[in-house]
């Protein structure tokens, strides 16, 4: 069901408004209490996690994120009516994931809440047929990006300049090499040019956003775009879970691991989740590196538009629509500006006393948005989507290109961040 509202904003601007809104509420004294989810036995589960005091904290936390989600849906022109049913459902599943992850035995195995929230969502989506109106109310990207802006409050701006410059070098090398390799593989497998362009951008730049931006630049087929998005989301899941453990077995530092994760994994949410599995430094570096790739999105969309406009395979009407520099700004991920603003604010303008007072609450809410996002990813991901396509060549091309991406990014990360 679509909203009848005629007013809506681009998602990235909505994210900036909502993310910074939460930050300023905390600065001005609206600090949400942090619930506890730690327990070792059923007695502690009842007396601590399900205590009246803790349930009140959970309810207060729910009130904040629910209001933010409603405002977000309204600004995006999405159905608020559907959200009133879907968001509480997602929140309850997320609370279940947080409770499971809070068990002391689970903590010993370093299993984070995002893994449980993803698993719960996947079980539901793959064993039950969720209605389209339910899936349309899920706002995965919105939740991830709000969490990323809140992450900016913990990242010193000098770290952005240092890691960002190295990240940009890595992004340039990785994006260019992986894009051309993926396009070459598609050509060898005789995949049509439209699919090849969207697939190459998705695997080399930033997953879903890159696929959508490329589709917009070339006016791509929606079915092809939907299939590529399914590829991105489903392949990001095992990478998010296993790459941190592989990095640990290889003895990689948190800096190298973060750069590897940020450059290899295609979705910002999976990058944040995998980084958090490794540690604070890995989370910081992986996010900055992923942002370095994201800022190339506008330039890539512009270049692809030029290529497509002059390609012999497109019709005359498409050739008349010449790309402009406006495309670069339109495709630039605006939520990155919110992240940088939050970092500048807490690096230079917020007093140490205020920082101490708000950082715990903001960090918890940041993690909550990530966990909500992965519950949503699980709920909207169905493994059948990969195998319903008659032509498996795009799947093979994506897997080959992603393997190349993992190897190249690891080499560059070792050279730059070791």
DSSP state of 295: T
Rounded to the nearest integer, the mean pLDDT of the chain is: 84
Distance, in Å, from the CA atom of 347 to the CA atom of 398, rounded to the nearest integer, reads: 40
Q: What is the mean pLDDT of residues 148-173?
A: 79
DSSP 154: G
Secondary structure (3-state) at 168: helix
Residue 52 has pLDDT above 70, yes or no: yes
Give me the pLDDT at residue 201, please.
86
Count CA within 13 A, CB hemisphere, residue 161.
5
Q: Write the pLDDT tens digit of every residue in 356-400.
A: 899 889 989 988 998 998 899 889 887 776 666 666 888 899 999
Q: Please tell me the distance from the alpha carbon of residue 375 to that of residue 234, in angstroms, as a whole number.
A: 14
Q: Which of 43-57, 138-152, 270-284 has the highest mean pLDDT?
A: 43-57
CA distance 220 to 133: 24
CA 41 to each of CA 35, 103, 213: distance values in angstroms, whole numbers, following the listed order? 18, 8, 49
Looking at the domain assignment, is residue 84 inside a domain? yes
Higher pLDDT: 270 or 200? It is 200
Task: Considering only CA atoms, give the Rg of the chain.
Answer: 21
Residue 3 has pLDDT above 50, yes or no: no
Please give the Cα distance from 350 to 317 (Å, whole number): 53
- pLDDT: which is higher, 212 or 28: 28
Q: What is the pLDDT of residue 216?
A: 67
Give the C-alpha distances (Å, rounded to integers) separating 36 from 57, 70, 95, 118, 137: 9, 25, 11, 21, 29
Name the most confidently modeled range: 31-40, 107-116, 140-149, 379-388: 31-40
**124 lies in a domain?**
yes
Alpha-carbon torsion (3, 6, 12, 15), positive or negative: negative
The whole-number pLDDT of residue 287 equals 85
Predicted confidence (pLDDT) at residue 314 exceeds the cutoff of 70: no
User: Angle, to 10 degrees, between the axis of helix 222-249 and the axis of helix 208-218?
Assistant: 150
pLDDT confidence of residue 2: 39
- Contact (Cβ atoms closer than 8 angstroms) between residue 173 and residue 379: no
Of the candidates 232, 259, 234, the one whose C-alpha atom is nearest the C-alpha of residue 247 is 259
Has residue 32 been placed in a domain? yes
Spatial distance between the Cα atoms of 35 and 418, rounded to a whole number of angstroms? 38
Mean pLDDT within 177-183: 92
Distance CA 314, CA 332 (A): 25
3-class DSSP state for residue 50? coil
Please list, in sequence order, all residues whose beta carbon lies within 8 angstroms of the beta carbon of residue 213, skipping any fewer than 6 positions away. 201, 297, 298, 300, 301, 331
| 323 φψ region: left (φ > 0), alpha (ψ -120 to 50), beta (else) | beta
Share of the chain above pLDDT 90, in %: 37
Structural domain includes residue 5: no
Residue 6: inside a domain: no
Per-residue confidence band for 23, with pLDDT thresholds at 50, 70 and 90 = very high
Asked if 413 and 259 touch (Cβ cutoff 8 Å), the reply is: yes
Question: Which residues sit opposite 39 in a β-bridge?
Answer: 103
Stretch among 197-211, 271-285, 291-305 having the lowest mean pLDDT: 291-305
Q: What percent of the chain has a predicted confidence (pLDDT) above 70?
A: 87
Domain tally for the chain? 1
- Higher pLDDT: 379 or 160? It is 379
pLDDT of residue 335: 80
Stretch among 91-105, 117-131, 204-218 having the lowest mean pLDDT = 204-218
Residue 8 confidence (pLDDT): 57
pLDDT at 147 over 80: yes
Place of tokens 């989370």: 283
pLDDT at 18: 95
| Between residues 290 and 7, the one the model is more confident about | 290
Q: What is the mean pLDDT of residues 279-283?
A: 87
**Within-domain flag for 3:** no
Q: Which domain holds residue 365?
A: 11-417
Nearest partner of 191 among 234, 233, 231, 239, judged by Cα: 231
Please report whether residue 4 resides in a domain: no
Give 150 or 157, the one with higher predicted confidence: 150
pLDDT at 226: 72
Within-domain flag for 2:
no
Which is nearest to 343 in space by CA: 170, 192, 152? 152
Is the pLDDT assigned to residue 309 strictly greater than 90? Answer: no
């Amino acid at each position: 069901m679509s909203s009848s509202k005629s007013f809506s904003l681009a998602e990235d601007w909505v994210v900036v408004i909502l993310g910074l809104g939460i930050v300023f509420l905390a600065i001005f004294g609206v600090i949400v209490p942090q619930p506890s989810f730690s327990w070792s036995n059923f007695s502690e589960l009842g007396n601590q996690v399900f205590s009246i005091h803790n349930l009140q904290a959970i309810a207060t936390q729910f009130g904040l994120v629910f209001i933010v989600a409603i405002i977000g849906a309204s600004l995006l022109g999405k159905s608020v009516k559907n959200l009133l049913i879907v968001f509480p459902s997602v929140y309850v599943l997320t609370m279940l994931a947080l409770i499971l992850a809070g068990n002391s035995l689970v903590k010993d195995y370093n299993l984070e809440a995002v893994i449980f929230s993803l698993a719960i969502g996947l079980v539901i989506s793959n064993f039950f047929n969720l209605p389209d109106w339910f899936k349309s109310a899920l706002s995965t990207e919105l939740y991830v990006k709000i969490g990323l802006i809140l992450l900016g409050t913990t990242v010193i701006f000098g770290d952005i300049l240092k890691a960002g410059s190295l990240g940009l070098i890595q992004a340039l090398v990785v994006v260019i090499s992986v894009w051309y390799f993926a396009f070459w593989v598609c050509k060898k497998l005789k995949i049509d040019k439209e699919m090849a362009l969207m697939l190459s951008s998705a695997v080399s730049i930033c997953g879903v956003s890159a696929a959508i931006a490329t589709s917009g630049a070339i006016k791509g087929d929606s079915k092809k775009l939907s299939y590529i998005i399914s590829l991105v989301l489903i392949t990001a899941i095992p990478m998010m879970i296993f790459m941190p453990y592989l990095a640990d077995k290889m003895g990689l530092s948190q800096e190298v691991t973060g750069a590897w994760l940020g450059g290899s994994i295609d979705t910002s949410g999976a990058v944040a989740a995998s980084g958090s599995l490794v540690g604070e430094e890995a989370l910081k570096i992986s996010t900055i590196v992923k942002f370095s790739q994201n800022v190339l999105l506008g330039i890539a969309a512009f270049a692809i538009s030029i290529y497509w406009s002059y390609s012999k395979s497109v019709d005359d009407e498409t050739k008349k629509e010449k790309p402009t520099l406006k495309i670069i700004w339109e495709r630039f991920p605006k939520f990155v500006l919110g992240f940088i603003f939050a970092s500048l604010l807490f690096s230079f303008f917020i007093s140490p006393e205020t920082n101490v007072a708000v950082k715990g609450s903001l960090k918890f809410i940041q993690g909550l948005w990530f966990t909500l996002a992965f519950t949503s990813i699980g709920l909207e991901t169905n493994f059948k989507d990969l195998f319903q396509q008659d032509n498996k060549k795009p799947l093979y091309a994506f897997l080959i290109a992603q393997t190349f991406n993992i190897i190249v990014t690891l080499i560059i990360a070792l050279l730059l961040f070791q």
